């Protein structure tokens, strides 16, 4: 079960049936695209769309009639699956596409992480990731000819028959790790973040590298800390643009921090008391509470048998990551 107890992680796909067998069912696709209940999730450029202006923002979901008007502007359409009883497609549109009138806002979803429920975030993040993939693969990487969408948007094939290149959506694995030493944990701040924002150490897995080696390398490169033991905890998708974060807990061998590779502006050891104090006085902001990063910190808190983060709900989400 992804997430902490009954709280699913953001973007984790709760409640979405991807209907993968239907991708190869042209009759079903034709009927569904014309059905009154079908919904379309517009993505303008790289941005999702929400209906703003009310207390509770909601995703903009278009019906067939509204989507048909936009079809001439669309560069891709992708079957996402069934969510809340409705079959949903992503609709990739140019950044300046004209949407139906109303209070509609474009968003990169980061400011919505603490506001939208996990299933909605999963649907929107999935739509955004697939549209991003289509936008960046309009031409064959092998021969340069245009590509064409197949299998309800889940496969791109080179249009030059002699080439035969087929492109599939790819996911980039990344590690995210809470390193501890005694009663302290290691948190870092990237240079682009506000000064009070700290999170667990993270980085991309490189080709030919297993996730455990990636944990050792990233922690060492970014902070000079050597990891002695580690354990996998959980995973969380992160659709910016197509990451899958593999969460670990690890133990440190040394404590002398140096931010070696310039990726982090700062890294520090925090005790549980430091974190509680920081949250209380506003000097520290952790990632949104439905993220894997927060869960790693929260689990470490609960192991103490003395502290819990539950008393300090995080309402402020990372908006700059």
Cis before 241? omega within 30:
yes
Strand pairing partners for 229? 251
Give, for 220, the enclosing helix (H) or strand (E).
helix 211-223
Is the distance from CB of 266 to CB of 188 less than 8 angstroms?
A: yes
**Minimum distance from residue 241 beta carbon to Zn ion (Å):** 22
Question: What is the SS3 assignment for 283?
Answer: coil
Choice between 30 and 142, CB closer to Zn ion: 142
**Minimum distance from residue 46 beta carbon to Zn ion (Å):** 25
- Residues at the contact surface with Zn ion, assessed by CB under 5 A: 140, 142-143, 145, 158, 160, 163, 165
Rounded distance between C-alpha atoms, residue 82 and residue 92, angstroms: 18
Choice between 7 and 145, CB closer to Zn ion: 145
Choice between 70 and 163, CB closer to Zn ion: 163
What pairing do the DSSP bridges indicate for beta strands 147-150 and 58-59?
A: unpaired
**Minimum distance from residue 166 beta carbon to Zn ion (Å):** 10
**Minimum distance from residue 162 beta carbon to Zn ion (Å):** 8
HSE, side-chain direction, 13 A CA sphere, residue 76: 31
Choice between 156 and 177, CB closer to Zn ion: 156
**Minimum distance from residue 157 beta carbon to Zn ion (Å):** 9
Choice between 138 and 258, CB closer to Zn ion: 138
């Amino acid at each position: 079960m992804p997430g902490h107890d009954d709280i699913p992680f953001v973007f984790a796909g709760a409640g979405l049936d991807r209907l993968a067998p239907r991708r190869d069912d042209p009759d079903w696709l034709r009927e569904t695209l014309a059905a009154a209940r079908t919904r379309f999730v517009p993505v303008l450029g790289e941005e999702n769309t929400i209906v703003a202006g009310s207390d509770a923002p909601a995703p903009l979901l278009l019906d067939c009639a509204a989507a048909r008007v936009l079809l001439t502007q669309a560069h891709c359409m992708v079957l996402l699956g069934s969510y809340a009883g409705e079959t949903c497609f992503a609709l990739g549109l140019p950044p300046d596409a004209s949407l139906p009138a109303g209070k509609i806002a474009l968003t990169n979803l980061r400011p919505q992480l603490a506001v939208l429920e996990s299933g909605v975030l999963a649907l929107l993040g999935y739509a955004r990731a697939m549209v991003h993939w289509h936008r960046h693969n309009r031409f064959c990487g092998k021969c340069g000819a245009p590509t064409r969408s197949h299998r309800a948007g889940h496969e791109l094939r080179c249009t030059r028959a002699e080439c035969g290149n087929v492109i599939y959506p790819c996911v980039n694995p990344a590690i995210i790790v809470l390193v501890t030493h005694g009663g302290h944990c290691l948190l870092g701040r990237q240079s682009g973040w506000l000064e009070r924002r700290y999170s667990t150490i993270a980085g991309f897995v490189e080709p030919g590298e297993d996730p455990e080696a990636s944990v050792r390398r990233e922690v060492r490169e970014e902070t000079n800390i050597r990891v002695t033991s580690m354990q996998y905890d959980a995973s969380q998708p992160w659709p910016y643009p197509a990451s899958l974060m593999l969460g670990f807990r690890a133990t440190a061998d040394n404590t002398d921090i140096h931010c070696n590779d310039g990726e982090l502006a700062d890294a520090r050891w925090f005790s549980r008391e430091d974190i509680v104090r920081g949250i209380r006085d506003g000097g520290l902001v952790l990632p949104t509470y439905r993220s894997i990063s927060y869960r790693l910190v929260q689990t470490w808190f609960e192991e103490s048998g003395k502290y819990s983060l539950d008393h300090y709900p995080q309402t402020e989400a990372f908006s700059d990551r």
